[in-house]
Amino acid sequence: MKRSRKPAVAGTFYPSDPGVLRTTVETLLAAASGWRGAAPRALVAPHAGYIYSGPVAASAYAALEPFRDRYRRVVLLGPAHRAPVRGIALPDAEVFETPLGPVPLDCEVMNSLDDPDVCHDDRAHRLEHSLEVQLPFLQVVLDAFSLVPLLVGAATPDAVARVIERLWRPETLVVVSSDLSHYLPYAEARRHDHATCRAVETLAVDALCNRDACGAAPLKGLMRAAERHGLTVHTLDLRNSGDTAGDHAQVVGYGAWLFAEDDRRANAA
């Protein structure tokens, strides 16, 4: 029997019933705007409960629908909330499960990541939500794919970028899971998150800190890799919990970004 990582937040962050979950994701995707540019090389999506961040996450994943048969592997990076991680942690599992079914891990690729900043830490993965909540969206919008799940803790942007570079392939999609500012008043959060958005759009790695995004470490690594590959960043959505399902007293920020080659470069490739 394959070693399996069971869902930890089904029934809390998103529906546990498969039919309800699929309908929820499909409804969120149907309400999102489409994407008419080049195939995404990477996405950034938030990871709160679907009632709060689901509409913003759907803005990112809806961009994949025209390219659903392009990707064979998804490299998914997110912050570790439940346990401290030194560097970047892989699980010991072979499959990640959700109510929509199993997602196979690319164990061959995972085992090839002989990097001083990469370790195995099942404990960190066991209860972590930042990666799990992305999976139902990926299962709905993509055809068959394998997964490389990476929890990022105390790691430099260069270390994260180096690991992303080792996994960079035309058939590979990179997804970074990150929320933005936490528990600021609505107006202050909007100002703060708009500044973060400008930093992401301009790939200003040094302008971001942990206060700007809980997934700052993987996000900064992606930005560094994107700069090396000459990718353009497109903001798809920028809202907070006060815009979706919460009050305005204290909000959490959410953003969705797409990283792609310039259309002219993509058409020439």
Owning domain of residue 138: 24-268
Section 49-60 average pLDDT: 98
Domain count for the chain, please give it: 1
Section 64-79 average pLDDT: 97
Assigned domain for 201 exists? yes
Assigned domain for 83 exists? yes
Residue appearing with tokens 């991680």: 85
Amino acid at 149: P
CB 85 within 8 A of CB 121: yes
**CA atoms of 39 and 211, how far apart (whole Å):** 31
Assigned domain for 39 exists? yes
Assigned domain for 13 exists? no
Q: Is the model more confident about 14 or about 84?
A: 14
Q: Are strands 101-104 and 251-260 parallel, antiparallel or unpaired?
A: unpaired
What does the pLDDT read at residue 269? 45
Assigned domain for 108 exists? yes
- Kindly indicate the confidence band of residue 268, based on its pLDDT and cuts at 50, 70 and 90: very low
- Provide the CATH number for the domain around residue 179: 3.40.830.10
Q: Are strands 251-260 and 232-240 parallel, antiparallel or unpaired?
A: antiparallel
Question: Per residue in 181-211, pLDDT tens?
Answer: 999 999 999 999 999 999 999 999 999 999 9
pLDDT for 265 beyond 60: no
Assigned domain for 12 exists? no
Closest CA relative to residue 80, chosen from 13, 134, 125: 125
Assigned domain for 7 exists? no
E-strand ranges in 65-166 read: 73-79, 88-90, 95-98, 101-104, 118-120, 146-152
Closest CA relative to residue 176, chosen from 40, 48, 77: 77
Q: Which two tokens stand for residue 224?
A: 């560094």
Assigned domain for 8 exists? no
What does the pLDDT read at residue 263? 59
**CA atoms of 136 and 132, how far apart (whole Å):** 8
E-strand ranges in the chain read: 4-5, 42-45, 73-79, 88-90, 95-98, 101-104, 118-120, 146-152, 172-177, 182-184, 232-240, 251-260
Question: Per residue in 204-230, pLDDT tens?
Answer: 999 999 999 999 999 999 999 999 999
Question: Per residue in 227-250, pLDDT tens?
Answer: 999 999 999 999 999 999 989 999
Q: Which two tokens stand for residue 167?
A: 């996994």
